[in-house]
Amino acid sequence: MAKPRKEKSALRENVESIVIAIILAVIMRQFVVQAFKIPSGSMEETLQIGDHILVNKFLYHFSSPKLSDVIVFKYPWEDKRDFIKRIVALPGDQVEIRNKEVMVNGQSMSEPYVAPDPRRTRPYRFGPLRVPKKDDEVEIRKDKRLYINGDPVAIPDGMFRPDDHGPPLSGFQTFYRALFPNRSITLDRPVKPFKVDQDYYFTLGDNRNNSKDSRYWGFVKSDRIKGKAFFIYWSWDCRARKFAQHVKCATNFAQHVRWDRLGRLLNLTSSSRAVVRQ
């Protein structure tokens, strides 16, 4: 005769439920959805300091990032920092900025999310810059120039500082040196043609005058992208640094909540080339 099964104690059931919930939360955070807080104004007005967003980490396992996606990624020069920017050029594109107007493959992008800035009067140019893509063939020839698929590539003039505390680097070092196996490589010595093994993206902040983005530290490698930002679930307008300031915000809680931003979807642009003006 079979022995009757012992009923689980209430304590054991609660412990098992908590453990399962923790495991599911870890899986969700790692592979599906993760929450992030916006710490700077580089994506204003799309995202403001104090916005709390959800990022879809599941999407890019089945599709590639699209033009104008707002993405969270590991900073290309430091693994422990996460950045959020907007994709403005895809692998294989040529990007250029003329007087703050973004040109992709020679066509002007329509960017309704970028607010006009009447304060800037001096001309501003950046590029043209070729974004590398997987299976591109890159080489350095005896003429001390970079070639991609046999075509010479323009390299931005000037010095850049991708690392906040590091020495300034040349345009080649900042944008293209990462394509080569030997990261200390320069344009001084020829390098035989070989294929690029990964796609890259060019990103900008929506607040173009206050954003350290691909103009300063280069391309975003596809395997560093964590996911696509899609939802604002909380927004808190309290830029407190000291304890007394936090207390003051807490006592005026309702006043500091941006109620109009709660539940907002980040779907300003679609995934197509329709955002490029003909």
**What count of residues does the chain have?**
278
Exactly one of 42, 68, 211, 214 is catalytic; name it. 42
Q: Which of 233, 201, 262 is nearest to 64 (CA)?
A: 201
Which amino acid, residue 225? Answer: I
Residue 34: Cβ within 10 Å count: 17
Active-site option among 57, 66, 85, 133: 85
67 touches 273 (CB < 8 A):
yes
Q: Is 42 designated active site?
A: yes
- Other beta carbons within 10 angstroms of residue 131's beta carbon come to 23
Residue 64 known to be catalytic: no
Taking CB atoms within 8 Å and a gap of at least 24, the contacts of 26-30 are 30/57
Rounded to the nearest 10°, the torsion over CA 146, 171, 271, 262 is: 160
Which residues are catalytic, by number? 42, 85
